[in-house]
Copies of this chain bind each other. A is one copy, B any other.
Amino acid sequence: MSRRDAPTADRPSRPAAEPTASGPDAKAPRPVTRGRVEKRQAILDAALVVFAREGYDRAGVDVIAAEAGVAKPTVYNHFGGKETLFREMVLSSAIRSRESSLAAIDALPVAPADLTAELLGLAHRLAVCFRDPRAWVLQRVLVTESAHFPDLLKEVVGDGTSRITEALAGRLALLGAAGRLDMPDPVRAAAHFFALTTGEVLTRSLNGARPTEAAELDAILAAGVDTFLRAFAADRCGG
């Protein structure tokens, strides 16, 4: 059971972040300058590490505070409690992960000399994004706790994965218009590109539970790109 928050805030001037009522407006209204340095970010980083390692329930606020080099009441000063800390950590990680994935897709040339090599490069860049602890903690933790944080699920996935898929679909459509690819549906092709590359990596590593060696990663991605091009390359029938 999650007792939401004990709003007995008789602390003099702490607005005490509430459980994200609706949207990002509940962000800290105070200026960035704080009592000392950026304890807040240190706590968020520590929360990422500890939540990723222990899971939501087993992670103790004491441990997070210690990992951040901060006292426990400081955690409760910055964030209302464990649940709010978890939410903010997940959201900030999701934004960071999404941006890095979008950047990886943006780096895909629209008129590549070697299409196979460029798609392989994209797969590697995406794999790095997905293998970043900051990213796969999302995969694991969202899968785990989605039933208890349905709003997080909606917020992260709703404008997360689908936006990434659409970004890749746009790139692939350009390659289709340039006569390099032949796809019935770019969105579908984009989803299948993810399934064959990063999806396979995640599956093989059990969502990050088992580390994947570099050689195995290369083989998985090369195989995925190969299958993708067997299906969607414009010159797939010998050209």
Contact = CB atoms under 8 A, between A and B. Distances in A.
Contact of A209 (B143, B184, B191, B226): B143
A41 interface: no
B53 A227 contact: no
B57 A55 contact: yes
Contacts of A147: 53-55, 209
A199 B203 contact: yes
Interface in A111-146: 140, 142-146
A21 B60 CA distance: 29
A224 interface: yes
Interface string A50-63: 00011101100000
A178 interface: no
A197 to B, nearest CB: 9
A195 B200 contact: yes
Given A192-B196, A199-B199, A238-B237, A143 B146 contact: no
A103 interface: no
A237 B230 CA distance: 10
A153 B188 CA distance: 32
A217 interface: no
Chain A interface residue count: which class? 35 or more
A188 B223 contact: yes
Interface string A182-198: 00110011011011100
A206 interface: yes
A132 B184 CA distance: 31
A157 interface: yes
Contact of A207 (B7, B143, B188, B199): B143
A145 B209 CA distance: 9
Interface in A128-178: 140, 142-148, 153, 157
A153 B209 contact: yes
A1 B210 CA distance: 21
A172 to B, nearest CB: 13
Contacts of A145: 55
